[in-house]
């Protein structure tokens, strides 16, 4: 009988220990499955307007311990964290996650702009802002050893195109009409933006006859290229460009190349048929904005 009592007592202790372990195990498993945070696994990138963003943006839904919430198959929504031009939300910005992974394979933007940032959200959780990206009018892939050229883009009576020089590596040349506020040195006309990372370029911009007629005096002598860049440059007066905090860039009128002006500089300006003013600019690589 005493031995039976001891066996019964041991069994009770074993069952009690198992129950305690089970009580601690259930919350841990639940914590691993409960979504608490969203993280951009694949960030958005600069894309041509009305074209599916490639590679597709991917958002991971994670639990409080930083693990993928593999049992989450709910909807994930992308909205703007930064939208300086009031662009509408992109198409196909809501998808259902699969095992905690949301892939936005058909994300398409319908308005141009610069410095967009996205935020992913579900009920009760949201991500940090994505890395910045642009939505451009045109995007041209430049091949090694070859020049590349955009088509003409337009903004408020100002139009233009860019030709990028050769380089030993591939590059991307973009052109955008609009999608950016007027610059401090702009009198008339819209803003065009041309971007290429590692190639010099020549930009040709045209001011419509209606803009030329707005300018008093003989016309050609009064027009110049208003230039904006993330980095300083030398202006028409020989002084460094001024920083404009409203646009977060350096801005100023360009010097003439013929007078020894450093790049970027105006190669030529002339009046074409129908009273259109044509200005050609030689520019280094980078991300300039230009306006008449």
Q: What are the tens digits of pLDDT across the range 72-87?
A: 999 999 999 999 899 9
Domain boundary among 104, 135, 166: 135
In a domain, 182, yes or no: yes
Q: Please state the length of the chain.
A: 292
What is the number of domains present in the chain?
2
Percentage of the chain surpassing pLDDT 70?
83
> Long-range contact list for 249-253, CB < 8 A, 24+ apart?
249/289, 251/183, 251/184, 251/185, 251/226, 251/227, 252/185, 252/226, 252/227, 253/185, 253/224, 253/225, 253/226, 253/227
> For 88, how many CA atoms within 13 A lie in the half-sphere containing its CB?
10
At residue 87, the 3 state secondary structure works out as coil
The radius of gyration computed from the CA coordinates of the chain, to the nearest angstrom, equals 29
Residue 111 lies in domain: 35-135
In a domain, 7, yes or no: no
Global pTM reads: 0.81
In a domain, 10, yes or no: no
Domain shared by 237 and 129, yes or no = no
Q: What is the pLDDT of residue 104?
A: 98
> For 107, how many CA atoms within 13 A lie in the half-sphere containing its CB?
27
Domain shared by 266 and 163, yes or no = yes
Domain shared by 166 and 272, yes or no = yes
Q: Over range 242-259, report the average pLDDT.
A: 90
**Confidence bin at 11 (pLDDT 50/70/90):** very low
CA-nearest of 45, 61, 42 to 53 is 45
């Amino acid at each position: 009988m005493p031995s039976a009592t001891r066996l019964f007592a041991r069994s009770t202790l074993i069952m009690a220990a198992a129950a305690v372990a089970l009580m601690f195990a259930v919350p841990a498993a639940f914590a691993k499955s409960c979504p608490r945070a969203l993280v951009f696994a694949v960030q958005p990138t600069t894309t041509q307007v009305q074209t599916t963003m490639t590679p597709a943006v991917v958002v991971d839904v994670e639990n409080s311990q930083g693990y993928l919430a593999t049992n989450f198959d709910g909807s994930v929504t992308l909205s703007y964290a930064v939208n300086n031009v009031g662009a509408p939300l992109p198409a196909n910005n809501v998808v259902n996650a699969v095992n905690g992974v949301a892939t936005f394979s058909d994300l398409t933007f319908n308005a141009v702009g610069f410095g967009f940032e996205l935020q992913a959200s579900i009920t009760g959780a949201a991500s940090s802002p994505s890395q910045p990206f642009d939505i451009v009018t045109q995007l041209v892939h430049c091949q090694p050893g070859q020049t590349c050229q955009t088509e003409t883009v337009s903004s408020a009576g100002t139009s233009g195109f860019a030709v990028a020089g050769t380089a030993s590596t591939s590059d991307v040349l973009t052109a955008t009409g609009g999608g950016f506020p007027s610059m401090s040195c702009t009198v008339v006309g819209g803003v065009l933006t041309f971007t290429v990372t590692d190639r010099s370029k020549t930009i040709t911009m045209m001011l419509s006859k209606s803009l030329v007629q707005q300018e008093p005096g003989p016309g050609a002598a009064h027009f110049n290229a208003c230039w904006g860049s993330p980095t300083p440059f030398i202006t028409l007066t020989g002084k460094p460009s001024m920083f404009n905090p409203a646009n977060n860039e350096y801005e100023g009128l360009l010097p003439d190349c013929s007078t020894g002006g450093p790049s970027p500089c105006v190669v030529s300006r002339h009046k074409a048929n129908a009273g259109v003013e044509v200005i050609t600019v030689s520019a280094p690589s980078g991300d300039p904005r230009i306006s008449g």
